[in-house]
Amino acid sequence: MEKSGWREKIDGCVAAYRHLFEMYETEIPESGLLAGIHQPMLKYNFAKSSQVWEIFEADNMHYPMGNACFEYGIGGVLDRTAQRLSADTQESAVYRQGIHDVYVEVRSFLLRHEARARRLSEEAVDPEDRKRLLRIAENCGALAKERPRGFVQALQLFWFLYLLRSPFGGGCIGRLDQRLYPFYRMDLENGVWDRQEALSVIIQFYEKLNRMTTGDTLRNLMLSGQDEKGEDQTNELTYLFLEAYERTQDAEPHLNVRIHEKTPQRLKEICIRMLASGKGQPTIYFDRNILPAMERAGIAREDACGYANDGCTETVYEGKSGITFWQHEMVKTVELTVFNGKENPFLYPVSMKKNRALAPSFEPHTSLELGFCSGDVEEMQSFADFLDAFRSQLDFQLSHWIRVIDQRIEADERDTLTSPLIGGTFRESVCTGRDPLRGGGFSVPNYQLLSGTVSTAADCLRAVEYCVFEKEYCTLTKLRDAMAADFEGHEILRLRLLHAPKYGNGDESVNELAALISRWFLDRVSAYRSRSGKRIHPGLYNIDFKIFANITGATPDGRRFRDAIGEHCSPTPGAAVSGPTAIVQSAAALPMEEGYASSVLQLTLDGSGFVMGADRERIISRLMEGSEKAGIPVWNLAMYEKQELLEAREHPEKHKDLIVRVWGFNARFVELDEELQDHIINRIS
Amino acid sequence: MKKAMIMEIQRYCIHDGPGIRTTVFFKGCHMSCKWCHNPESQRPSAEMLFYGERCIGCMACFSFCERAAHRMENGVHRMDLSLCEGCGRMNECGEGCPAGALRVCGQETDAQALLEKVLADRDFYGKEGGVTCSGGEALLQEEFLLEFLPLCKEAGISTCLDTTLNVEWERIERLLPFTDLFLADIKFMDPERHGQYCGTDGVRTVENLYRLSDAGKPVILRMPLLAGINDTGEEAQERKRLLERLANVRRVDCFGVTGHGASKYRALQREFVPFNQGVDPKALAEQMREKLR
């Protein structure tokens, strides 16, 4: 690999950071101790906006930063990267230099906050205010040199690095209660721990997050967990982070809690109390349904126990991995099976928004490979024939994905650049100058393939089995033609398909099909090894169910083009009519535990139903217990009153505080685009 | 094994007793309360419902029917449901309707099959949740319950009977050892009004409430309220007196009757009598709660 090419990439990245850091304001708050904020880059006019993409290519912001700055301090990172070492290769020498260059800018950023705070303190009239501003100045100055002293400095350091990482104002937060724990202990041992103050600073942190931007921000805060000996890692900070959220109640950050055998009852009770308010916070991760599969996949127990979630619900290994993921389209695979490798001819390009109402529109396209002939439906004699065709189409697509991922794995082993800002947070990278991808800290490879929606796909397969081969309402050819017409003029058939058994009602025939296709997916993906022995981690999940709905034509389950597809392992909206326990029963039939990259069950309850003695918290608690027992790895429960959601559509200004769960994140309902609002309203079962 | 005539088995019921429950709705009731919002529960045998608003006019049922129960009038599908009575092809007929406009209410099942359905949610019941037998009047099929409830208890499932209590005490007594909780309505304390609106005088209900109290069985009382009809001062006073004398009442839930069920009446081709029109059901409930304090 060309030395100059590598150097150019790094220099470009460093220059981009330098440019951005200069544009960020130097914010000293009028109250409180947490300095720093910036407006998301959307509000900037970038002459060189391609620079932002250089950063994004080197850092997808979906994983927590490492811990080196907390161990060494900014000064320590600079010291360790100032000199070329005799052991350096050309690559590591250049990368080390890149880290150094970026952290010089980081230090400047901190120092200018110190300078401004000091100036303001001199101008301050109120002596309390002067003290406060001086303290901010001291914090910033100290952090520019040494490792943090105490909790407030540690959170301030985290915050500065977080701000500097992302021009978008978002990014994965990670296990902050664990990362900052040593600094809490420091304060405790020095007799200076001030709980009230710590709580205020955390609240200020949350408020700044919400002020910057809300919604699809990747801001996952993972709390609690267990160490490799199985000892519980809940600590005082875990409770503080939760308490701060109960005060602020907004969309950010997205809270996640790990639950295991030794989780304190107090923590569980807080989670249930929070879930009872309906916002879908926190998301629950059941360790016992996640860790075993990770270990079976060859991830060391110690690493597995350090897992957090990324920008969404995918698992990352804090301090040990980044993440790259791809999404297969399981429902589209059904379409390709019916049309023998072609798309449904009814499809036309659709302009849509990803989730925010105030966001640019785009025209999505499928990522699947067209043209693989899995068989002409006119020649299929039985459901087994159809299922075989589906399997071969699925196999073909998975082979394609595996090739794509394999290429990426090799590129990463060759010369993909990880942002030097990130490199500077990984101890190995700082000490050896190696890119995290190549010995600099990403010791656990984290390449993931997500399945797309198995639930809706299972509905489709079952509808074919039931309507074509059991009840003989139509032939496969007729079905294909009806789908090609988007069911226009085929209303009777469409109704029959809609009434075929659907996932989410505890029906074994559909559950078995969903389990079968999940099994095929998981087995195929877990069988892969790269030349260097790396695996692909599978998940029964999708992020882009809205996009998929807009690129998948009418399907055998009675869905028309653009009708909703289910998310993750949840039923197609409207399909589940037997309540949440039946949904869990359907999900329990899937091998979700083996989809440890991300397998999620999203439950949405009717909030208006908790009357006449129905004990909200008790019921949530039972649903949670039953779901853990059923093997669900990742669990989210949201509750809405349909009436309120509809009113919020009419009068958004009156419902700004209505928070809903979207996919992997929470958002203000009124900020979402209409399609997504509809999807969420239809989730209520 | 005995068979029961069941209307529906509903999972995740949170208003039919504490916790998460599976409620089994038994078909057949000896009363006929004018506000009943499950009118299809009253007759003991299987019956056909026709939801005309769902019909798409495909006429698949016309060719299937052997009793000429269907006709088209000005492009609208009309049915004579009385012709469906006793028809042995109802289930097939209902399944054959693509739009779900023809629905059969009432299927037979045995205790073992029912138990399996109830066990599906056992991981969600905890101590407080379980099975509730409701309907209709489940106690009209008490021979079946004598088989079914002990099976539930053996399986560690908590049992609840949602009943009018308007049956012979002997029927209730036999089930006491297998029933953890009772749900009962107070519709009218005044026997004449009770007869006028429900078809029986309701005296047995009150007598049985006292007996349950003596037996120490926990009861949750529900009060369906109809403005101007059973929320009068006298009713409230009588109820208050009753409550003072009962030792076993866990909770009293007041609620204003709402207009749910109108579509079912239409589907049964029966007259729907609206109650509480223009009345805020929550306010109604709050007022009665006040009077009972």
Residues of B in contact with A584 (CB under 8 A): 124
Residues of B in contact with A619 (CB under 8 A): 14, 19-20
Question: Cβ separation of A492 and B98 shorter than 8 Å?
Answer: yes
Domain with residue A589: its CATH number is 3.20.70.20
Q: Is A119 on the interface with B (CB under 8 A)?
A: no
Rounded Cα–Cα distance for residues A74 and A99 (Å): 11
The answer to whether position A584 is within a domain reads yes
Question: Cβ separation of A625 and B100 shorter than 8 Å?
Answer: no
Q: Are A13 and A55 in contact (CB under 8 A)?
A: yes
With vertex at residue A573, the alpha carbon angle to CA A569 and CA A574, rounded to the nearest 5 degrees, is 130
- The SS3 assignment for B291 reads helix
Residues of A in contact with B20 (CB under 8 A): 581, 619, 622-623
Block means of pLDDT (10 residues each) for chain A, 685 residues, are 75 93 94 92 55 87 97 98 94 96 98 98 96 98 97 98 92 98 98 98 97 92 98 98 96 96 98 94 97 97 97 95 97 98 97 84 94 98 98 98 98 96 98 97 98 97 98 97 98 96 96 98 98 97 92 98 93 93 96 95 89 88 97 95 90 87 87 89 83
Q: Is B8 on the interface with A (CB under 8 A)?
A: no
Which residues, at least 6 apart from A218, have a Cβ–Cβ distance to it below 8 Å?
A: A61, A62, A170, A171, A172, A310, A311, A312, A665
Could you tell me how far CA A494 lies from the centroid of its own chain? Answer: 35
Any idea what DSSP says for residue B129? -
Maximum pairwise Cα distance, chain B: 62
What is the distance in angstroms between the Cα of A612 and the nearest Cα belonging to chain B? Answer: 6
Q: Of the candidates A552, A582, A598, which is a domain's last residue?
A: A598
What is the distance in angstroms between the Cα of A614 and the nearest Cα belonging to chain B? Answer: 6
Q: Are B61 and B70 in contact (CB under 8 A)?
A: yes
Are B58 and B197 members of one domain? Answer: no
pLDDT, tens digit, 9 for 90 and up, residues B165-222: 999 999 999 999 999 999 999 999 999 999 999 999 999 999 999 999 999 999 999 9
Q: Is B57 on the interface with A (CB under 8 A)?
A: no
Q: Rg of chain B over CA atoms, in angstroms? A: 20
Question: Cβ separation of A611 and B98 shorter than 8 Å?
Answer: no
Q: Is A629 on the interface with B (CB under 8 A)?
A: yes
Rounded Cα–Cα distance for residues A36 and A362 (Å): 33
Q: Is B128 on the interface with A (CB under 8 A)?
A: yes
Q: Is B15 on the interface with A (CB under 8 A)?
A: yes
Any idea what DSSP says for residue A377? G
Could you tell me how far CA A141 lies from the centroid of its own chain? Answer: 34
pLDDT at A675: 86
Which of A492, A581, A615 has the CB atom closest to B121's CB atom?
A581
How many other β-carbons are positioned within 10 Å of the β-carbon of residue A369?
Answer: 15
Pick from A257, A253, A238, A248: nearest CA to A277: A248
Q: Are A76 and A185 in contact (CB under 8 A)?
A: no
Q: Of the candidates B67, B85, B105, which is a domain's last residue?
A: B105
pTM, 2 dp: 0.94
pLDDT at A42: 57
Are B88 and B120 members of one domain? Answer: no
Could you tell me how far CA A668 lies from the centroid of its own chain? Answer: 17
Question: Cβ separation of A619 and B123 shorter than 8 Å?
Answer: no
Tokens of B204: 């047995």
Rounded Cα–Cα distance for residues A77 and A389 (Å): 56
Domain with residue B66: its CATH number is 3.30.70.20
Pick from B240, B255, B244: nearest CA to B286: B255
For the stretch B1-13, what's the b/e string if a residue is b when 16 or more beta carbons lie within 10 angstroms of its beta carbon? eeebbbbbbbbbb
pLDDT at A2: 55
What is the distance in angstroms between the Cα of B125 and the nearest Cα belonging to chain A? Answer: 7
Q: Phi then psi for A286, rounded to 5 degrees?
A: -90, 105
Residue B115 scores a pLDDT above 60: yes
Residues of B in contact with A637 (CB under 8 A): none
pLDDT at A353: 85
Instruction: Kindly tell me the sign of the dihedral angle through the C-alpha atoms of A454, A460, A465, A466.
Output: positive
Which of A499, A582, A622 has the CB atom closest to B19's CB atom?
A622
Are B90 and B182 members of one domain? Answer: no
Nearest CA in chain A to B8: A578
C-alpha distances (whole Å) from B171 to each of A226, B113, B166, B217 are 55, 23, 10, 15
The answer to whether position A23 is within a domain reads yes
Tokens 């949740």 correspond to what residue?
B129
Q: Is B99 on the interface with A (CB under 8 A)?
A: yes
Which residues, at least 6 apart from A138, have a Cβ–Cβ distance to it below 8 Å?
A: A114
Are B121 and B167 members of one domain? Answer: yes
Residues of B in contact with A615 (CB under 8 A): 18-19
The answer to whether position A218 is within a domain reads no
Residues of A in contact with B220 (CB under 8 A): 613
Mutate which of A490, A495, A586 to disrupt the B interface (most B C-beta within 10 Å)? Answer: A495
- The SS3 assignment for B2 reads coil
Residue B73 scores a pLDDT above 80: yes
Angle between helices A3-23 and A90-123 (to 10 degrees): 10
ipTM of the complex: 0.93
pLDDT at A103: 98
| First-to-last C-alpha distance (Å) of chain B | 47
Q: 3-state SS string over A24-75?
A: CCCCCCCCCCCCCCCCCHHHCCCCCCHHHHHHHHHCCCCCCCCCHHHHHHHH
Rounded Cα–Cα distance for residues A355 and A327 (Å): 18
State the residue range of the domain holding B67.
47-105
Q: Give yes or no for a cis peptide into A282 (omega within 30° of 0).
A: yes
Are B178 and B94 members of one domain? Answer: no
Q: Of the candidates A598, A625, A654, which is a domain's last residue?
A: A598
Q: Are A341 and A372 in contact (CB under 8 A)?
A: yes
Pick from A236, A315, A318, A245: nearest CA to A280: A245
Q: Are A521 and A538 in contact (CB under 8 A)?
A: yes
Rounded Cα–Cα distance for residues A553 and A368 (Å): 14
Which residues, at least 6 apart from A372, have a Cβ–Cβ distance to it below 8 Å?
A: A336, A341, A392, A393, A396, A397
- The SS3 assignment for A7 reads helix
Are B92 and B112 members of one domain? Answer: no
Are B81 and B172 members of one domain? Answer: no
Question: A with B: how many residue pairs have Cβ under 8 Å apart?
Answer: 76
Are B91 and B118 members of one domain? Answer: no
Mutate which of A467, A496, A508, A581 to disrupt the B interface (most B C-beta within 10 Å)? Answer: A581
Residue B260 scores a pLDDT above 80: no
The answer to whether position A589 is within a domain reads yes
Cα within 13 Å of Cα(A412), Cβ side: 29
pLDDT at A52: 78
Helix (H) or strand (E) holding A317: strand A315-317
Q: Of the candidates A598, A627, A656, which is a domain's last residue?
A: A598
Q: Give yes or no for a cis peptide into A29 (omega within 30° of 0).
A: no
Rounded Cα–Cα distance for residues A367 and A382 (Å): 29
The answer to whether position A6 is within a domain reads yes
Are B130 and B160 members of one domain? Answer: yes
Residues of A in contact with B126 (CB under 8 A): 618, 621-622, 625
- The SS3 assignment for A327 reads strand
State the residue range of the domain holding A56.
1-147
Q: Is B256 on the interface with A (CB under 8 A)?
A: no
pLDDT at B10: 95
Tokens of A397: 């697509």
Helix (H) or strand (E) holding A494: helix A491-498
Pick from A159, A158, A170, A166: nearest CA to A66: A158
pLDDT at A665: 86
Q: Can you name the residues that pair with B48 across neighbouring β-strands?
A: B104
Q: Is B100 on the interface with A (CB under 8 A)?
A: yes
Q: Phi then psi for B86, rounded to 5 degrees?
A: 75, 5
Tokens of B245: 């004398």
**B287: alpha, beta or left, given left = phi > 0 and alpha = psi -120 to 50?**
alpha
When divided into structural domains, chain A yields a total of 2
Are B167 and B113 members of one domain? Answer: yes
Residue B41 scores a pLDDT above 90: yes
What is the distance in angstroms between the Cα of B170 and the nearest Cα belonging to chain A? Answer: 30
When divided into structural domains, chain B yields a total of 2
Q: Are A282 and A296 in contact (CB under 8 A)?
A: no
Which of A581, A612, A613 has the CB atom closest to B12's CB atom?
A581
Are B99 and B16 members of one domain? Answer: no
The answer to whether position A465 is within a domain reads yes
Residues of A in contact with B19 (CB under 8 A): 615, 618-619, 622
Pick from B10, B119, B106: nearest CA to B49: B106
Q: Phi then psi for A116, rounded to 5 degrees?
A: -65, -40
Are B175 and B162 members of one domain? Answer: yes
How many other β-carbons are positioned within 10 Å of the β-carbon of residue A464?
Answer: 28
Question: Cβ separation of A622 and B98 shorter than 8 Å?
Answer: no
Residues of A in contact with B60 (CB under 8 A): 492
Q: Is B169 on the interface with A (CB under 8 A)?
A: no
How many other β-carbons are positioned within 10 Å of the β-carbon of residue B235?
Answer: 21
Which of B98, B124, B128 has the CB atom closest to A626's CB atom?
B124
What is the distance in angstroms between the Cα of B138 and the nearest Cα belonging to chain A? Answer: 22
Which of A495, A581, A615 has the CB atom closest to B11's CB atom?
A581
The answer to whether position A159 is within a domain reads no
Q: Is A625 on the interface with B (CB under 8 A)?
A: yes
Which residues, at least 6 apart from A314, have a Cβ–Cβ distance to it below 8 Å?
A: A62, A323, A325, A448, A450, A539, A541, A597, A598
Rounded Cα–Cα distance for residues A271 and A259 (Å): 10
Q: Are A572 and A386 in contact (CB under 8 A)?
A: no
Any idea what DSSP says for residue A208? H
